[in-house]
């Protein structure tokens, strides 16, 4: 993959199109069971950090500094807002955009925007949900009639090894309510 990407980028450079070509490299999920997501727990098809925390690499000479780094919590849908802006397209007439323009934050070297983000993943009779609010993450996993819940401080415990649900039931309840409101607002995909 590295060699193929290098060939594409070299071709863009040879054609003199680098400053007019935005390249985004990312993934929509972590590695499968046979891969590694260390130091994160879980993988593809779950809402553990190993299933949802993925890299995003941007190349756009003249617009994004090559050494730029951002800690912004970002979802795949955020790229829609970024690409529309770069293309000069106003989202008028499009149903509500859920994403934010993350590219602008990187271009302007802005600090991360605190935000609350949500996930849902289904596999057979199992459904995973998660809500991340600032540095905290509430996770719910339903397998048939069995439901498991977890609460993590991702700054102190990015590997999600110390469940704080019993220690912070009040805060877990607040995040659970956020998740339930979101779940009512969005329509699950079959």
Where exactly are the structural domains of the chain? 114-190
pLDDT tens for residues 15-40? Answer: 999 999 999 998 888 888 788 888 89
Q: What is the pLDDT of residues 115-166, one digit of tens each?
A: 999 999 888 899 999 999 999 999 999 999 999 999 999 999 999 999 999 9
User: b vs e for 86-110, b when ≥16 Cβ sit within 10 Å of the residue's Cβ?
Assistant: eeeeeeeeeeeeebbbbbebbbeee
Given this model, what pLDDT does residue 101 score? 92
Place of tokens 């849908």: 77
What pLDDT was estimated at residue 10? 96
pLDDT of residue 175 exceeding 90: yes
| CATH of the structural domain 114-190, one choice from 3.30.1120.10, 3.30.70.260, 1.10.4080.10, 3.40.50.720 | 3.30.1120.10
DSSP 123: E
Tell me what percent of the residues of the chain surpass a pLDDT of 90. Answer: 62
Q: Which residue has the tokens 């993943």?
A: 121
pLDDT class of 189 with cuts at 50, 70, 90: low
Report the candidate in 64, 63, 39 with the shortest Cα–Cα distance to residue 50.
Answer: 39
pTM: 0.83
Cis peptide before 72 (omega within 30 of 0): no
Q: What is the pLDDT of residues 67-77, one digit of tens each?
A: 999 989 989 88
| The pLDDT of residue 188 | 58
DSSP string of 125-174?
TEEEEEEEETTEEEEEEEETTEEEEEEEETTT-TT--S--TTT-HHHHHH
Q: Output the pLDDT for position 36.
A: 84
């Amino acid at each position: 993959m590295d060699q193929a990407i290098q060939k594409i980028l070299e071709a863009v450079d040879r054609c003199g199109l680098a400053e007019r070509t935005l390249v985004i490299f990312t993934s929509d999920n972590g590695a499968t069971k046979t891969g590694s997501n260390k130091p994160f727990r879980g993988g593809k098809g779950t809402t553990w950090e190993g299933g949802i925390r993925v890299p995003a690499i941007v190349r756009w000479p003249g617009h994004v500094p090559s050494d730029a780094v951002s800690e912004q919590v970002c979802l795949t849908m955020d790229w829609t807002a970024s690409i529309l802006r770069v293309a000069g397209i106003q989202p008028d007439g499009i149903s509500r955009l859920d994403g934010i323009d993350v590219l602008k934050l990187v271009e302007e070297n802005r600090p991360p925007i605190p935000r609350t983000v949500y996930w849902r993943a289904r596999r057979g009779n199992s459904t995973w949900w998660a809500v991340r609010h600032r540095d905290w993450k509430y996770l719910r996993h339903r397998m048939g009639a069995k439901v498991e819940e977890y609460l993590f401080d991702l700054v102190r415990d990015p590997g999600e090894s110390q469940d704080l649900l019993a220690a912070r039931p009040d805060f877990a309840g607040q995040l659970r309510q956020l998740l339930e409101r979101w779940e009512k607002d969005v329509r699950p995909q079959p």
